[in-house]
Structure 1
Amino acid sequence: MKSIFKISFVIGALVSLTSCKDDSAPNYQYMPNMYESVAYETYSESTAFNSPNGLQGKEGQLPPVGTIKRGYVPYEYPNTPEGYAAAKLNSKSPLDPTTIDMKKAEELFNIYCAICHGTAGDGKGNLVKQGKFLGVPNYKDREITEGSVNHVINFGLNSMGSYANQLNQQERWMVAAYVMKLRSQL
C-alpha cells in the first residue's frame, strides 16, 4: 500500500510540473529585453542618437563646445605654409636643453623617423634604399629649426604624415632636439 501511495505521489508531482510548461506562452520573465534583445545588423544606421536639430545620429557623439580631451595641449600654429614659417621663426622648445634625455630621444627617432631619414639623418633610411620613398631630405641640406621640426612632426609635410598621435608634446620636442643634434653632426 505504501508503494502504491509513493508511486502515485511521484506520478502526480511529475504531471503537475509538466502541465505548467507551455511553449506557445512562456512564463513571465524578469526584464525580458535582456533575454530576447533586438538584433541589430552590424554597421547599420541607428536612430539611437537622432536629435531634433537634424544632426542625424551625431549629437550624442559630439563633445561639448569649447572642450578639449584630457592631456591634449593645443598647438598655436596652423597647418599652412604661413604657420610653418611662423613656427620656424618663433617656436621654441619648452624643454630645458640640459635635461633632455638624448638616449630616449634617439630611441624615439629610431622608432619613428630613421626608417625614412636614416639613423644619421642623411635621408638614407631603409625605405629610401629600397626605393619605396624618394626625395627624403638630408638634414644638413635644409634650413630647419627646432620649431620647424616640431611643426612637421605635428602636421607632416609632403609625403610625411603627422606623428602627433604617436608622440606626445614632450616627445615631439625631444625628437626635434635630437634632429638638431644630428644636423650639427653631419
Structure 2
Amino acid sequence: MKSLLKITVVLGIVVGVSSCKNDEKPNYQYMPNMYESVAYETYSESDAFNSPTGLKGKEGQEPADGSIKRGFVPYEYPNTPEALVAVKAANLKSPLDSTQVDMKKAEELFTIYCAICHGTTGDGKGKLVSNEKFLGVPSYKDRVINEGSIFHVVTYGLNSMGSHANQLSQTERWQVAAYVMQLKSKL
C-alpha cells in the first residue's frame, strides 16, 4: 500500500513536470518583470512621478516651504548697506562662547582667506596690496567695526572683497570675526 502511494506520487510529479514543458511555446515565468525588465534611456524623462499639478514629480524633490537644512542657523540681515549699518548699530555679538572659539583655527582661517589682502597683522598690507594688485585695503585700526559687522562682511562681501560664505561655515566666520577683533586690539 505504501509503495503504491509512493509510485503514484512520483508518477504524478513526473507527469506534472513533463506536461508543462512544450518546446513550441515558451513556458510561464514566475516573475516576468525581473527576467525581462524595461530598458530606460539614461537621463531621459520619466512619467513615474506625474501629478495632476503638472510639475512632473518635482514637488517630491523640492524641500517644504520654510524648511532649513540641518545645522544651519538663518542670518536675518540682508545683503544691503543699510543692513550693515544696522548690524554695527545693534552691536551684534557672536553666538559662540569663549570655549567654542578656537583662536588657533581662527588664525589659520584668517591666514588662508584674509591675510593675502589684509596682512597677517590686520594692517591692510597683505601680499596683494604690497604688489599693488589691490589698493585701498584699510587697516583694522582705522575702522569702526565689531564682531557682527565683520561676520556680515565675511558673509556677503563688501566693495572688491567677495563673499566667503561658501568657503567658511557660520562657526568659522564667527571665529574669524573674533580673531579680527583680537588683531584690532593689538594695533
Question: TM-score scaled to structure 1, two decimals?
Answer: 0.69
Deviation at 1:178, TM superposition (A): 0.7
Structure 1 residues 38 and 55 mapped into 2: Cα distance closer, same or farther (>3 Å)?
closer
Deviates more, 1:100-109 or 1:89-98: 89-98
Aligned residues with identical type, % of pairs: 67
Q: Which aligned pairs between 1:45-64 and structure 2 lie closer than 5 A? A: 52-53=52-53, 58-64=58-64
Structure 1 residues 141 and 58 mapped into 2: Cα distance closer, same or farther (>3 Å)?
farther
2:10 is matched with none
2:9 is matched with none
| Structure 1: distance between partners of 2:114 and 2:48 | 43
User: Which amino acid in 2 is paired with 1:143?
Assistant: V
2:40 is matched with 38
What's the secondary structure of 1:67's corresponding residue? coil
Deviates more, 1:147-156 or 1:129-138: 129-138
2:85 is matched with 85
| Structure 1: distance between partners of 2:94 and 2:131 | 34
Mark the structure with the bigger radius of gyration: 2
Alpha-carbon RMSD: 3.0
Deviation at 1:152, TM superposition (A): 0.7
Structure 1 unmatched ranges of 5 or more: 1-19, 21-27
2:111 is matched with 110
User: Which amino acid in 1 is paired with 2:118?
Assistant: H
For the pair 1:165 / 2:171, whether they are aligned, the reply is: no
Q: Map Cα deviations across residues 139-160 of structure 1 (whole Å, 9 max, x no partner).
A: 1221111110011111111222
Q: Map Cα deviations across residues 23-75 of structure 1 (whole Å, 9 max, x no partner).
A: xxxxx975444xx743346xx88877776546577544421101001111011
Question: TM-score scaled to structure 2, two decimals?
Answer: 0.68
Structure 1 residues 67 and 106 mapped into 2: Cα distance closer, same or farther (>3 Å)?
same
Structure 1 residues 107 and 39 mapped into 2: Cα distance closer, same or farther (>3 Å)?
same
Q: Which aligned pairs between 1:8-157 and structure 2 lie closer than 5 A? A: 31=34, 32-33=36-37, 37-40=39-42, 52-53=52-53, 58-90=58-90, 91-97=92-98, 100-157=101-158
